[in-house]
Amino acid sequence: MLFFAVLALGVGLRINNLDNITRRSPDEEIYTQEAKAIVLEGGEGIKLLIREYNLNKELWIYPPPIRVGYLWLLASVMKMTKRTDEKVGAYVSCTFSIISLLLLIVMGLRFFNPWIALSALLFTTVSPMDLAIARRTWQDAMLGCVGLSLIYFCCELTRNTHKIIWYILFVIVGSYCILIKESGIFLYGLCMLWLLWTLFIKEKSYLKGFLLMIVSAAGAGISVLTLAHAAGGITPVIEVLTHVKEAMPTNIYAVEYQSGPWYRLLQGFWIISPVNAFLCVLGIAGVFPTSLPNNKNRNAIFGIIFFMLAFMTITIVTPYCQNLRYVSVLFVPFYLMAGLGLWHIVSFAKVKTGNYFFYIAIAFIIAIILAAARDYRNFKKIFLRTGIPDVSMRMVREYSR
């Protein structure tokens, strides 16, 4: 009942905040125009968009039209709803954000415990960064959800390497992931490293490891061929990627709003939710010296931590990536680890307080509710009242003061 109530709250908050956008970002307008062109031009839409993109240097600072995994879906929803405005993309983002909440419940109950899952669900429900993305026409909510699915498949395979269905789903979803955004390659690659470590090092299952590598490479190859076919060849795709890289140093927005010291992206999690930032560090640190809620899931939780640290490191060292929506795949793992940190504190308090633990537990519940309310106030303060159109670190820092 508690899970249903919190999930209903999360769905309600996301739907309720769809209509309070005061201004759209340039990226939202570009995604909408690209999807609309696909609706109007059909199979030739991507070719036309890529040709125009490569010829017009002014477009190189905007999202490239090779993100067909998102654009095709957005165009399909436009056809179904008979609408071609930015609101369609917001519906897509909202849907994937809600699916991520459902995945969180499954992962929390499967690999942690009900209390950790409930805590993570509550804080994700009111998460300022997740709510901000769920109302925008960006591909980040979709990529975050798809990436979270890959993490879940890896957890299942880490727990039991004999379930064929998880390998099949992993390859299918991972191959599609690289069509959503360029960073999908890193998502898929890190998850692949996770599984290969499990198969080669932990299980000594060399045949399974090699078969996974071959099938995954074939799946990725099919995705690349699909993109090349839609683009009219692989050369236009390479030209797009080259132009994106060339334009970055001259992209005023990227330089001024998405650049800064390496620690600034980490600081964003502290600004958005300081309580969970502290609990997340505690949860990760507490995995090593203490027992987990379920010891047979230890390797899966270690895998989640590896993925979080590796993906965050890649994002930090990549220039012009100081933007919270670029790490949307880490939102649910962040709150799960925070829930684990809270579990460590509660477990310690239970041992130390004995008969007084009931009163301590009541205090914990009140503190959690207050912290969740504070996070939602942060969403209203930073994003609703100011109307800022992005979650870049400079914007988040400036409008959180």
CB 170 within 8 A of CB 195: yes
Domain-embedded: residue 190 = no
Look at residue 192 in the predicted model and tell me its pLDDT. Answer: 97
Range of the domain at 306: 2-166+233-399
Look at residue 293 in the predicted model and tell me its pLDDT. Answer: 52
Domain-embedded: residue 337 = yes
Domain-embedded: residue 271 = yes
CA 265/CA 236 separation, integer angstroms: 33
Q: Would you list the DSSP string of 274-305? A: HHHHHHHHHHHHHHTTS--SSGGGHHHHHHHH
What does the pLDDT profile of the chain (401 residues) look like in tens digits? 889 999 999 999 999 999 888 889 999 999 999 999 999 998 899 999 999 999 999 999 999 999 999 999 999 999 999 999 999 999 999 999 999 999 999 999 999 999 999 999 999 999 999 999 999 999 999 999 999 999 999 999 999 999 999 999 999 999 999 999 999 999 999 999 999 999 999 899 999 999 999 999 999 999 999 999 999 999 999 999 999 999 999 999 999 999 989 899 999 999 999 999 999 999 998 876 555 555 568 889 999 999 999 999 999 999 999 999 999 999 999 999 999 999 989 888 888 887 787 888 888 889 999 999 999 999 999 999 988 999 999 999 998 88
Domain-embedded: residue 386 = yes
Domain-embedded: residue 197 = no
Domain-embedded: residue 173 = no
Q: Would you list the DSSP string of 251-278? A: -HHHHHHS---TTHHHHHHHHH-HHHHH
Give Dmax (Cα) for the chain.
Answer: 73
Q: Model's pTM, two decimal places?
A: 0.95
Look at residue 190 in the predicted model and tell me its pLDDT. Answer: 97
35, 186, 188, 361 from 150: Cα distances, Å: 26, 12, 7, 35
CA 343/CA 70 separation, integer angstroms: 37
Look at residue 216 in the predicted model and tell me its pLDDT. Answer: 96
CA 196/CA 79 separation, integer angstroms: 41
194: tokens are: 């996770």
Domain tally, the chain: 1
Residue 322: phi and psi, rounded to 5, are -80, 70
Half-sphere exposure of 378 (CA within 13 A, CB side): 28
CA 261/CA 259 separation, integer angstroms: 7
What are the residues facing 392 on neighbouring strands? 323
Domain-embedded: residue 133 = yes
Instruction: Give the residue from 201, 208, 124 showing the smallest Cα distance to 167.
Output: 208
What are the residues facing 323 on neighbouring strands? 392
CA 122/CA 332 separation, integer angstroms: 11
Domain-embedded: residue 221 = no
CA 46/CA 179 separation, integer angstroms: 13
